[in-house]
Amino acid sequence: MPLNPLTVKQMKDGTLRSLRLQGQPLDQRDWKIIGNFLRVTTSLRDLDLSFSHGSLEQLSDAIKQNRSLTKLGASQLVQDHNITTLLDIVKANPGITQLNLNNCYMQGQGVNTLARFLKSHQTMTHLSMDGINFEELNPGFDRGMGIPKLSTLSKALTDSPNLLEFSPSTPEFDSICTANKLAVDGLLKAAKDAPDQLTDKQVESIKTRMPAFLHIAETQTRKADDIAQLLVNIEDRAASLGVAFEFPQRYADRATALPRPFTPSADKVDFSTLKAADLAKPEATPRLYKAVEAGQVDELLAFMKQEGIKMSAEICLVKAAGKRENVIQLIARQGKLAAVMNVETWTGDPRGLKQAVDAVPAREWQRQMKDIPADRLITQVNAASFKEAKRPKVQPAGPR
């Protein structure tokens, strides 16, 4: 089998980031192995099929299902007759934002088809088309009807918000790429320096320029967790502005394990004159929720202890009208899970406990409760699960 044994090993252990198949005489067994790998991998970023004729057709369905690729090499593979195969792949897998089409033999139909696609799908950050003779005339019966010049593509990409590099270089393309780089650099700096100050216009621009935004962030920041945290901060700001934000697929899993930023509300609760019955009032925004939202968790716990009130699932799951998070989720944001979820404060309701546990990411439980002595943990929660970064296992009521 021509596939390198080390490559096969990296496929299996999930560490392969770049796969280059140029010139390898692959058989059906190899195509099947590669196809199965492409469907499930989360590590592969760069796939180069250049000079491997027929590889686009062999792997088309698998690449469409992939969600980790960012770069696809197809040098000398694309012609007018199969340009739609390539574009169908990119349409189905929007994570692919870098294309190498060097030395592809595309004539008028192929270039026009590509231009129309790029005009309506503005996600491409890098496009290389060196070695294509844009000035060549169609042969014989088409004499006099030249293949569209490079200007056909520059017109299609004039308003592209994500294009960062294009070759062959021209003044038109250089101008487009430079403007995009400056715009993304400004958005990235704003998101890093003060994410809570982003305007709705900036958030919308980040959404529009997300492919370029991610590429530059990955080039500058490199650490995946830092980028995921940056995106979490942007998502949080978008939510506060009422702007929909679709989290990039390849960072979604990492994001669930990261803390959400917390900005306390300025509208605080005065506990000095409060009565226990008033915690649930008014109905639309209970004082209980209002206190947690204002960062008054410690004051709330002291008041509840004074009034003989214990934490329950009913309290944990309270969510004010128009808000996206409930009480326990806001408590988790503030790093207060250990103060709230222990034997002194919890009522001991195992069914309700499971509801409260499921509302917060498993990693957050581990982060905040791993150092709590076992005798202070709620009796219905398996202490070991906190230490192992797993979602706490809810056990039957009663002592361990």
Residue of higher predicted confidence among 351 and 315: 315
pLDDT band at 145 (very low <50, low <70, confident <90, very high): very low
Q: What is the pLDDT of residues 269-291, one digit of tens each?
A: 999 999 999 999 998 889 999 99
Identify whether 282 is preceded by a cis peptide bond (ω within 30 of 0). Answer: yes
**Is the model more confident about 55 or about 395?**
55
Q: Answer whether 81's CB lies under 8 Å from 54's CB.
A: no
Per-residue model confidence as pLDDT tens digits over 327-378: 998 998 898 998 988 888 888 777 788 888 888 877 677 778 877 777 777 7
Q: Residue 224 in contact with residue 251, Cβ under 8 Å?
A: yes
pTM higher than the cut 0.85: no
Q: How confident is the model at residue 394 (pLDDT cuts 50, 70, 90)?
A: very low
Give me the amino acid identity at 51: F
Q: Phi first, then psi: give them for residue 159, nearest 5 degrees.
A: -100, 10
Rounded Cα gap, residues 326 and 246, in angstroms = 21
Domain range 5-168, CATH class: alpha beta
Q: Which of 307, 317, 313, 379 is nearest to 342 (CA)?
A: 379
Distance CA 208, CA 268 (A): 37
Least confident of 74-78, 220-224, 329-333: 220-224
Residues of CATH 3.80.10.10 domain(s) within the chain? 5-168
